[in-house]
Amino acid sequence: MGCDCDKSFSTNYMVLNPEEVGLFDLINMLFSSNIEKRKFVDSSEVEEQDFWRRWIMFISIVVQKLLLFFSKPMSIFGSAIEFFLNLLSINGNLASLLLNLVQGKVTMPDKNSASFLSFIGNVDKRVKLDRSIKPGDNERYFGALSMMASKVAYENKAYIETVVTNHWKMEFLGSYDYWNDAWCSDFDLSWYEIDGLGKIHGGFMKALGLQKSKGWPKEITKQEPSCRPLPLAYYAIRDMLRELLSKNERAKFILTGHSLGGAMAILFPAILALHEETWLLKRLEGVYTFGQPRVGDDKFVEVMEKKFKEHEVKYFRFVYCNDIVPRLPFDNSELMFKHFGKCLYFNSLYQGKVVAEEPNKNYFSPLHSIPMRINSVKELIRSFTLAYKKGPDYREGGLLRIFRIIGLIAPGISAHSTQDYVNSTRLGSSNVLSHPKTL
């Protein structure tokens, strides 16, 4: 039995369904403002007069369609690359692997072991915290710890437990997998307008736990296995926090995430506010996001700024250089997505400053095209020199250097790496977080 989509929880909405699209129907949308006729567009509006909005919808559908079409081969290829990288690592290097292969002594990686790394983990293998940043450094310590937590969150449970327990000397409370009904979240421009919150990116909400049939009920009933074989993130984490924080009245918590994780980190307190979870909001120490995309409109910004001020929640949004993800979805007349909060922007030298909005906010600007590519050349050169200047913790491997080379053509891809965000919190966050006025 499938999960029916009842959008009565939303006052207005625009949902794109790439599974339903036909080529001619898709092309016709560009020449007709009547979007009600299109099976792949489910909207509270009958018409969309603005051509550029229809064009953006067209691009979103095409990208999602391509991703869905190639999802299986991409998954297989990605898993194969990941397995090979771990195979190399566990056997020493390529020469050792070939020797072990000849001798019949090849060690095979175990995906559930504490030594197995995701693709992202292979890009940046650091596990230790920077000892020069002490807990007493307040926001700077929280920022550095949050970024390392965001990086480690990409790994399996055994790896995370080993890092938290053995390297960080902290108590490990658990690692969990949750249901995500939005595989193409970053490219899905669907949105829902939630009464009291504003218009919010649909893909990010579904990743956090939005139920297409019910929206955001304050409590949920027993889940249907055919629809959701895994629990919903928001409800499971909220209930866990209720239990943990009730045991210590002085304890607080921090929300953090990289990329999509950053979007969900800022949406989580938004849904807490929607559900009037005042007790939990008062226990929220801060929100630290890294390479976070935009998630809502002006109304969402207004509501969240008010709630964060009311409950004294600190919100720091880290953006490294030309990272493309914080500049998506667009903030222009065709779309309505906005950023808010304190933007901590770091250039390629990891020099930070507080800004209202990152430079080149919508990325695809002809004026920034050449400077971005010049900067990519500098980043590639830096990848060979930084370790000599700052120490072995800043050495970059061949995998990241491949992405640096790709960045010469498509700037902003390698800039989204966890490597640069960890470096930003360690090398460039001191003045910015200690003196939070615009530099």
Catalytic residues: 259, 323, 416
Long-range CB pairs of 120-123 (<8 Å, 24+ gap) are 120/151, 120/154, 120/417, 120/418, 121/151, 121/154, 121/155, 121/159, 122/82, 122/85, 122/86, 122/89, 122/397, 122/399, 123/397, 123/399, 123/400, 123/403, 123/417, 123/418, 123/419
3-state helix, strand, coil in the chain (%, to 5): 50, 10, 40
The token duo for 417 is 């790496």
Residue 293 preceded by cis peptide, ω within 30: no
Mind giving me the DSSP string for 315-342? Answer: EEEEEETT-SGGG-S--SSS---B--SE
Return the number of other C-beta atoms located less than 10 Å from residue 305's C-beta.
Answer: 13
Q: How far apart are CA 28 and CA 35, in angstroms?
A: 10
State the burial class of residue 429 (Cβ atoms within 10 Å of its Cβ: 0-12, 13-18, 19+): buried
The token duo for 303 is 């509501």
Q: How far apart are CA 346 and CA 393, in angstroms?
A: 19
Q: How far apart are CA 205 and CA 57, in angstroms?
A: 19
Q: Which of 424, 2, 367 is nearest to 181 (CA)?
A: 2
Identify residue 184 by its one-letter amino acid code: C
Q: Which of 56, 58, 11, 60 is nearest to 38 (CA)?
A: 58
Q: Specify whether the backbone of 331 is left (phi greater than 0), alpha (psi in -120 to 50) or beta.
A: beta
Mind giving me the DSSP string for 393-404? Answer: GG---HHHHHHH
256: three-class secondary structure by DSSP = strand
Residues 78 and 70: beta-carbon distance below 8 Å: no
Torsion, CA 143, CA 146, CA 147, CA 150, rounded to 10:
-160
Q: Which of 11, 259, 14 is nearest to 150 (CA)?
A: 259
Which residues, including other chains, have CB under 8 Å from residue 7's CB and lie 6 or more apart? 13, 15, 42, 44, 192, 212, 215
